[in-house]
């Protein structure tokens, strides 16, 4: 077991050292300062090895060292840095990529924890959950025969996602129905459009809802904007309320559509990285109509970059409450 412990800790040390090396990108990694820093990290890893050895020996129950490291030590370490840094295990990283791609295979519903219960919050039209009659407010009782009360919300979500074509059996309780409702759902590809609403009202003003910024947002946005402009809009309302951001590149693309060439969209720099400026590269062309951008306290990250750029260049009127205030950009 001690060999396994050392193997896990060596892997952690490699991760930490690689992070330090990345943080010193462009500096002299072979310098004396770098050697001292690596030695300090190794010394701390040795402390961690000895601590885990004592826990393994003295704890009342057997200790899963890998789980302790990857689900305990590393996430806890990152939580002490800032509210946004986090550790992605394989499952969490898979879900992140699904969000960035804008589609996944599942049953097409959102869930949330309510006390000790898992409650269905919303089912997307046309999805397996919708066609099976699942409704908001239904309580998940069992999944594939396993009591849902023994599972976390994340574990329930894992059960209703997976390879396309596989099945999942759900037992739900509806508050106004005495008997449980049992359904078998076949997992399908569930598209999650990042621009779910686009229409014209008063025959002149266009409305665009951008729910997130993912890999599909640039194409979806251009398609919907072109459709509205073909209808002759003379003004545009862009709704970023509850849009918590996403990919920086997608936010820059959307902002680029409304600014003059050379105007700065955003710039960023860090303790170990040089300043980088992202200027608008396209010409505003016909996108010269008045604009209003709707935001609220859940508008964050790429949403704030977009709204801030248009506000700084007097291109749009920003309406709503103060935004979230996330003043940093992250890399995976």
| Among 173, 179, 158, 159, residue whose Cα is nearest residue 91 | 158
Active-site residue, 326 included: yes
**Cα three-residue angle 162-120-295, rounded to 5 degrees:** 95
DSSP labels, 126-182 = TSHHHHTT--TT-EEEEETTEEGGGS-HHHHHHHTB-STT-EEEEEEE-TT-SS-EE
Architecture of domain 104-191: Roll (2.30)
Confidence of residue 19 (pLDDT cuts 50, 70, 90): very low
Catalytic member of 194, 280, 299, 326: 326
Active-site residue, 312 included: yes
Catalytic member of 301, 303, 314, 321: 301
**Domain boundaries for CATH 2.30.42.10 within the chain:** 104-191
**Tens digits of residue pLDDT in 249-296:** 999 999 999 999 999 999 999 888 899 999 999 765 567 899 999 999
**Tens digits of residue pLDDT in 65-97:** 888 888 888 888 888 888 888 888 877 777 777
Average pLDDT, the chain: 85
Catalytic member of 82, 144, 154, 312: 312
Using CA atoms of 72, 144, 129, 93 in order, give the dihedral in degrees to the nearest 10.
Answer: 30
Mean pLDDT of 153-173: 88
**Tens digits of residue pLDDT in 214-237:** 999 999 999 999 999 999 999 999
> 0.85 exceeded by the pTM?
no
CATH code matching the domain that covers 197-320, chosen among 3.40.50.620, 3.40.50.2300, 1.10.3720.10, 3.90.226.10 = 3.90.226.10
**Domain boundaries for CATH 3.90.226.10 within the chain:** 197-320
Active-site residue, 131 included: no
In the predicted structure, residue 103 carries a pLDDT above the cut 70: no
């Amino acid at each position: 077991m001690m060999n396994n412990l050392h193997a896990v800790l060596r892997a952690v040390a490699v991760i930490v050292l690689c992070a330090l090396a990345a943080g010193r990108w462009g500096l002299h990694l072979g310098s004396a300062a770098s050697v001292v820093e690596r030695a300090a990290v190794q010394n701390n890893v040795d402390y961690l090895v000895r601590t885990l050895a004592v826990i393994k020996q003295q704890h009342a129950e057997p200790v899963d060292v890998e789980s302790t490291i990857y689900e305990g030590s590393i996430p806890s370490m990152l939580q002490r840095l800032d509210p946004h840094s986090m550790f992605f295990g394989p499952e969490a990283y898979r879900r992140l990529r699904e969000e960035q791609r804008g589609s996944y295979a599942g049953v097409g519903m959102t869930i949330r924890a309510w006390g000790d219960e898992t409650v269905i919050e919303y089912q997307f039209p046309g999805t397996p959950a919708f066609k099976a009659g699942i409704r908001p407010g239904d309580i998940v009782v069992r999944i594939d025969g396993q009591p849902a009360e023994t599972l976390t919300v994340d574990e329930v979500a894992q059960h209703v996602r997976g390879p396309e074509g596989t099945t999942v059996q759900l037992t739900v309780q509806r508050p106004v129905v005495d008997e449980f409702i049992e359904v078998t759902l076949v997992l399908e590809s569930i598209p999650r459009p990042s621009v779910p609403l686009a229409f014209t009202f008063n025959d002149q003003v266009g409305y665009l809802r951008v729910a997130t910024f993912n890999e599909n947002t640039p194409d979806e946005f251009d398609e919907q904007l072109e459709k509205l402009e073909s209808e002759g809009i003379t003004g545009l309302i862009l709704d970023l309320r509850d849009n918590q951001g996403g990919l920086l590149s997608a936010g820059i693309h959307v902002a680029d559509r409304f600014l003059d060439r050379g105007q700065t969209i955003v710039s960023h720099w860090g303790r170990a990285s040089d300043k980088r400026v992202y200027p608008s590269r396209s010409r505003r062309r016909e996108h010269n109509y008045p604009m209003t951008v709707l935001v609220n306290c859940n508008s964050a990250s790429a949403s704030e970059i977009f709204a801030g750029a248009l506000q700084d260049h007097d291109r749009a009127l920003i309406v709503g409450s103060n935004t979230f205030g996330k003043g940093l950009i992250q890399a995976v």
